[in-house]
Structure 1
Amino acid sequence: MKLLIKSLCIAFVLTVIYSVIPFEAECEQISEEVFRLHILANSDSAEDQALKLKVRDALLEYTDMLFDKAEDSDEAENIARENLKTLQTVAQNVVYENGYDYKVNAQVVKMYFNTRYYDNYTMPAGIYDALRITVGDGKGHNWWCVMYPSICISSAVDTDEKVEKTFSENQQEIVKGNDYQYKFKVVEIFEKIVSFFE
C-alpha cells in the first residue's frame, strides 16, 4: 500500500513538472519580447507616492509616440537607450516643478519582476529588460507597466492589436488568460531561484 501511495505521489509530481515546463518556456519567451517601465518613488510618504505618479504621467505622455515606432522589444530598448538623458530630464523637471530637489536617475536594466497583473493582462514572473526611473532614494513603492508592446495606458483595441502582433497564440493565451494561477506561482518560484543565482 505504501509503495502504491509513493508511486502515485511521484506520478503526480512528474505530471505537474511536465505540464509546467512548456508553460515556463513560453513565459521565458514572453519576457524576451517585452520592454518594461519601472519607477521607484523616493519614499512611501503620500507626497512622494503622488510625485511618482506625476513622473509616470509625464513619461508616458512623452514616450507615447516614441515607443509606438518600435517593431520589437530590442528596438524599444534601443530607443530608450538613445533617449535616456531626455527621459531622465523629463522626470527630473517634474520633480523640480513640484518643489522637490530629489535627483532622478534613469537606466536601462535587466531585472526580475514578480507575476504582475494589469487590467486584462498578466505578465509572468521573469527577468525583463526595463527602463528604470529612480526618484531620490528610490525606497518607496514602485510603479510598473509594459512599454513594449504598449499596455501602459492605451485603448483596448490598440492594446489587443499590439499584443496579437507581439506574441504567439500560446503566449497570448498566457498573457490574456486567468486560468494559470498555480502555474504562474510555480514559474515565479523557479524564476526567483534563477534570479538569485544570477
Structure 2
Amino acid sequence: MKKLDVILLTGLIGSILFSNLAGFGNTLDNIEHEVLRLHILANSDTEYDQNLKICVRDRLLENSEELFGGCETLDEMKQRANEKLDEINDMVLDVIHEKGYNYNSKTQLVNMEFDNREYGDITMPAGTYDALRITIGEAKGHNWWCVMYPPLCIPAAEEADGDMQTAQSYFSEEELDIMENPENYKVKFKCVEMFRGIRSKLEEMF
C-alpha cells in the first residue's frame, strides 16, 4: 500500500473514531443537562451525624409532594426549588433542632461536579450536574444523594422498580444503555474525560 493511501486510510479511521467519540460525549452532556440531583452533606461521619442526615432526607422526601407537586419539566422543578430554598432550609433546621442539635444548614441550587454514582440499577456518569445541595453544620461527612428530576426518588423512593420505570420513560435508549451498562463504555468514558480536561485547560488559558 502506498504511503499516501496509508495516510488517507489512517485519517479516515481517525475521523470515524473522533465522530463516534463526539457523539458519545454529546450523549453524556444530554444526561447531565436532563437531571436535577438532591445532595445532602452531613456534618461529620459520626454515627449521630450520619443518622441526622438520614432524618433530613426522610423529612424532605415525606414533604416532596408539598414542595414539588405539579412540576412536570426540569425547568419547573428547578424554578420551584429556587423559590422554596428558604422553606426547605427551615425544614432542615426543624429536623436538626428536633434531634437536639444546634448546627446551621445551607440550602442552595448549584452546578457541581459528581463522580460516577450508582443509583439502583443505573449508574449516573461523572460530570457537572445541577443539584439542590443541603449542607449540615461543617459539611465534612459523607453525603446522600438521589435524582430529583427525573423523579427517581421523589415522590416514591421506596416503590419496587419505580425508579427504573421512571428512568425508562425519561431517558433515551442510548442514554439508558450507558447508565445500565457503564462497563461497556469504559474506554469512551476515559477518552471523554481526557478531552474534557484538555478543553478545560484551554478555556483557562484563553
Same fold (TM over 0.5): yes
1:180 corresponds to which residue?
A: 185
Which 5+ residue runs of structure 1 have no aligned equivalent?
A: none
- Please, which moves more after superposition, 169-178 or 102-111? 169-178
Give the secondary-structure state (helix, strand or coil) at the position aligned to 1:131.
strand
1:140–1:12 CA distance, 2 compared to 1 (3 A): farther
Which 5+ residue runs of structure 2 have no aligned equivalent?
A: none
CA distance in 2, matches of 1:37, 1:112: 13
1:158 corresponds to which residue?
A: 162
The residue type paired with residue 178 of structure 2 is: I
1:63-108: CA deviations, max 9, x gaps? 1564353222111111111111111111111111111100111000
Matched pairs, number: 193
Could you tell me whether the CA contact under 8 Å between 1:67 and 1:148 is conserved in 2?
A: no
State the shift of 1:19 in Å.
3.7
Does residue 1:145 correspond to 2:157, yes or no? no
Once the two structures are superposed, the pairs formed by residues 127-142 of structure 1 within 5 Å of their partners are 127-142=128-143
Could you tell me whether the CA contact under 8 Å between 1:34 and 1:73 is conserved in 2?
A: yes
Could you tell me whether the CA contact under 8 Å between 2:121 and 2:164 is conserved in 1?
A: no
Could you tell me whether the CA contact under 8 Å between 2:67 and 2:84 is conserved in 1?
A: no
CA distance in 2, matches of 1:193, 1:155: 42
Could you tell me whether the CA contact under 8 Å between 2:25 and 2:192 is conserved in 1?
A: yes
Give the secondary-structure state (helix, strand or coil) at the position aligned to 1:99.
coil
Could you tell me whether the CA contact under 8 Å between 1:112 and 1:195 is conserved in 2?
A: no
The residue type paired with residue 189 of structure 2 is: F
Question: Greater Rg, structure 1 or structure 2?
Answer: 2
The residue type paired with residue 75 of structure 1 is: E
The residue type paired with residue 52 of structure 1 is: K
State the shift of 1:183 in Å.
3.0
CA distance in 2, matches of 1:83, 1:69: 14
2:81 corresponds to which residue?
A: 80
State the shift of 1:172 in Å.
2.1
CA distance in 2, matches of 1:169, 1:131: 27
Cα RMSD for the two superposed structures = 2.9
1:145-191: CA deviations, max 9, x gaps? 10111223242443234223322221122223343234334444555
Could you tell me whether the CA contact under 8 Å between 1:125 and 1:187 is conserved in 2?
A: no
CA distance in 2, matches of 1:188, 1:68: 36
Could you tell me whether the CA contact under 8 Å between 1:31 and 1:128 is conserved in 2?
A: yes
TM-score with structure 1 setting the length: 0.82
Find 2:172's aligned residue among 157, 162, 168.
168
The residue type paired with residue 79 of structure 1 is: R
Once the two structures are superposed, the pairs formed by residues 13-32 of structure 1 within 5 Å of their partners are 17-32=18-33
Once the two structures are superposed, the pairs formed by residues 179-198 of structure 1 within 5 Å of their partners are 179-191=184-196
Could you tell me whether the CA contact under 8 Å between 1:44 and 1:141 is conserved in 2?
A: yes
CA distance in 1, matches of 2:69, 2:197: 31
